[in-house]
Amino acid sequence: MLTHAVKTYLATRRATGFTLRCEGFQLRSFAAFAEARGQHYVFSDTAIAWAGLTRSVSQRARRLGTVIRFARYLRAEDESHEVPPAIYGVEKPPRPTPYILTPEQIRQLVEAASCSGYRTLRRATYSTLFSLLACTGLRLSEAIRLHFDDITPDGLVIRNTKFRKSRLVPLHETARSGLERYIQGRLPYAPFDDHVFVSSQGRPLLSADAEEAFRNIVKRIGLPRGLGRSRPTPHSLRHAFAVRALHACPDSRDAINKHMLALSTYLGHSKVAHTYWYLEAVPDLMRDIAVRAEHFATGGRP
């Protein structure tokens, strides 16, 4: 009974766009665990015992959270199912404060990338890649999966990315000209591959290689650690883009709401709350919020 319920639950959620690869494996494991004990309903004690089979508390919390959502789904139609308490704590720890690169640091990164390694395609690849991430806010995985036909007159088409979404990212004319220069220079290395970014060996660029190149450049130019001892990563270029966009937001409440929604859509976030997270990253933004809140509390208009 539970095995069949798992199939139905997964089919329902996948129909709405969730992949649930890991969750599907976990729920099938839980169903087998419960049915081996002759149980055909979700019971709290059984779910807690199954989740507790792993050593890590964070893993236990994630496993139990998966069963909790499954139990809520089943209990909506049959109250014989129990919804276990989240005794192992929250599934996900608080998101760390992002590392925000300044415009000057971004310039140093790009310049260092243009001088790194041998005088080969590597220099142009990483300087162009990091520049593109900084001026568009793309995820690293989205940038390295770009193909030639994703570059359109209207901008970059980001296809079937995170959360199975596709979106159009406008390109400034300077970014477009930079991409065109890079493509002309990389054609001799991989004339039959339509990936935009390729390695010096003519193969599609790998995320691991780009991350390693970024770490080496950060070390070379001596960027300091951020709040909470965070280290800059290629994703920091995306964070910096988002914060610059928030700084440019108009002051009126309606304009801010529309701006946040537009930015969330532009970045490909699944929830606007993920965009609001950037507000806590920069003291200037938090100070602006505090000033407006004080103005409102003292009788002024927000």
- State the pLDDT at residue 21: 87
| pLDDT: which is higher, 131 or 228 | 131
pLDDT of res. 281: 57
Average pLDDT of the residues in 120-148 = 93
Query: For residues 300 and 171, is the Cβ–Cβ distance under 8 A?
Result: no
Alpha helix segments (H runs only) across the chain: 2-15, 21-35, 44-51, 57-75, 103-113, 121-136, 140-144, 173-186, 207-221, 235-247, 253-267, 273-276, 283-297
- Can you name the CATH fold of 109-232? hpI Integrase; Chain A (1.10.443)
- Residue 269 is a catalytic residue: yes
**Whether the predicted pLDDT of 280 surpasses 70:** no
Average pLDDT, stretch 126-136? Answer: 95
Q: What percent of the chain has pLDDT over 70?
A: 82
Query: Lowest-pLDDT range, 132-136, 160-164, 270-274, 278-282?
Result: 278-282
The pair of structure tokens assigned to 155 is: 């901008």
The stretch 197-209 carries a mean pLDDT of 91
Q: Does residue 139 have an active-site annotation?
A: yes
Annotated catalytic residue within 88, 238, 239, 266:
238
Spell out the domain ranges in the chain. Answer: 2-75, 109-232, 236-297
Q: Which residue has the tokens 């602006």?
A: 288
Is residue 302's pLDDT more than 60?
Answer: no
Instruction: Please tell me which residue in 60, 139, 186, 239 is annotated as part of the active site.
Output: 139
* pLDDT of 252 over the 70 cut: no
Catalytic position from the list 72, 147, 162, 203: 162
pLDDT band, very low/low/confident/very high, at 282 (cuts 50, 70, 90)? low
Lowest mean pLDDT among 20-29, 62-71, 149-158, 161-170: 161-170
Q: Is 235 a catalytic residue?
A: yes
Query: Are 126 and 171 spatial neighbours (Cβ–Cβ below 8 Å)?
Result: no
